[in-house]
Structure formats: C-alpha cells, structure tokens
Structure 1
C-alpha cells in the first residue's frame, strides 16, 4: 500500500511539473511527462512480475497448462500497453491516433486470445 501511495504522489508531482513547464516550453513539458511515465512504469514492473509469478503458481496448483494461462497474461499486458499508448497520444493532442492505437490493441488482444478460445471450443465440443 505504501508503494502505491508513493507512486501516486510521484505521478501527481510529475504531472504538475509537466503542466507548469508546458506553459513555457511545450516540447520540454512533453518530454518531462514521457520521462516521468517511463520511470513510473519501471517502478511498477516489479509488481507486475510478482503478479505473473503468482498466476503461474496458481496455474500449477489447479492444473492449468501454460498454453491456457499465457494468452490471458499476454492479453492483460496488451490492454495495459494499449491504454498507456492511447493516453500518451491524447495528451499530445492526437485523438485520432489514440483511437487507432486502441483499435490495433483490441485486434492484437483478440489475436492473442485465439488459442484460449480454441481450447474452450475444443472442451465444449468434447462435452457434447
């Protein structure tokens, strides 16, 4: 909980700094916002790795094969990256590119989830 509070405080401080800098030098403010975002994501990678390790452990405990668990984790990763990319585009004033990034992310997520959908269909047809 303490690390989340620190990350949130750092994000708010970086956003305020970026807003102030953007008033005088828009490009420098954009670079500051991107750098702050990259640092915050780097700090969050440790938490994401712990979640992945727990998901792998739970998969082993309940007997899920990695072929079933991997597409779920990859789809979540695609969703997170797509959201970040779209928000960065919106922040830069490029709403059209943000919408295209979201559409591409949705297509990539569906493509990544296809093996899982095939496994579900196989199980259903096996039950019938």
Structure 2
C-alpha cells in the first residue's frame, strides 16, 4: 500500500509540474492535464476501494444496518470526494467563486440524501421517549 501511495504521489507531483509548465504557454492545456491526473487518481481510488467496500458492506449487514443507510453512507463519501476535487480544480484555474459554488452544491446534496436517515433517527428517538 505504501508503494502505491508513493507512486500516486509521484504521479500527482509530475502532473502538477507539467501543468505548471504548460500554464505559462496555454492555460487550457494546463487545466486538461490537471483534469486528466485527477481522473486517473480518482479511478485508481475507486478500484482500490472495491475490496474494502465489499468487506465493510458485509460487516454493516452483519450488524443489521439497513441497506438504505449503507447506500447513503457511500453516496455521501462519493459526493464529498467529487465536490472537493471539483472545487479545488476550479480554484486552481482561478475561479474561486465556482469552487465555492461547487462546495455549496455538495453540501446541499449531502443534506438532500441524508433526510431519510435523519427521519429514521427522529422516529427512533420518538420510540425511545
């Protein structure tokens, strides 16, 4: 795992250096390199998590946690990762307002998908009282 982290780190640093060099000549190509590096790392991240996610799903199902809650948890994780990367890419391209808008959208999406979990939590509290 450590060697994979080192490989990804070197890949990101090389991509950042290439992007920085290209930014002097053509900002569009610089942004394209940044997007390509982020896409490659995100794809590797998803592939790396396939096995641990299936194990975690088995553990949560053994604890009798509803599939709906497990699904919300993984969707929330995906929203956080995608929103963070999108916001940082916007900020790197000099569009900090767009980065803030992406983060705001992500927060709204998290609230929207968490409403069923919050509703179930309130019903649980109501039963306990």
Question: Superposed, which structure 2 residues align to 1:78-89 within 5 Å?
Answer: 78-89=79-90
> 3-state SS of the aligned residue for 1:88?
helix
Aligned-pair distance for 1:127?
Answer: 0.8
Q: What CA RMSD, in Å, does the superposition of the two structures yield over aligned residues?
A: 1.2
- What's the TM-score, normalizing by structure 2? 0.92
Gaps of 5+ in 1: none
Give, in whole Å, the separation in 2 of the partners of 1:27 and 1:11.
18
Look up the match of 1:126.
127
- By relative contact order (CA 8 Å, sep 6+), the higher-ranking structure is 1
Look up the match of 2:23.
22
Question: Superposed, which structure 2 residues align to 1:1-128 within 5 Å?
Answer: 1-128=2-129
Superposed CA deviations along residues 36-71 of structure 1, whole A, max 9, x for unmatched, are 111111111112323321221111121111012211
Gaps of 5+ in 2: none
The total of aligned residue pairs comes to 128
> 3-state SS of the aligned residue for 1:64?
coil
- What's the TM-score, normalizing by structure 1? 0.93
Runs of 4+ in 1 over 3 A off after TM superposition: none
Give, in whole Å, the separation in 2 of the partners of 1:25 and 1:98.
21
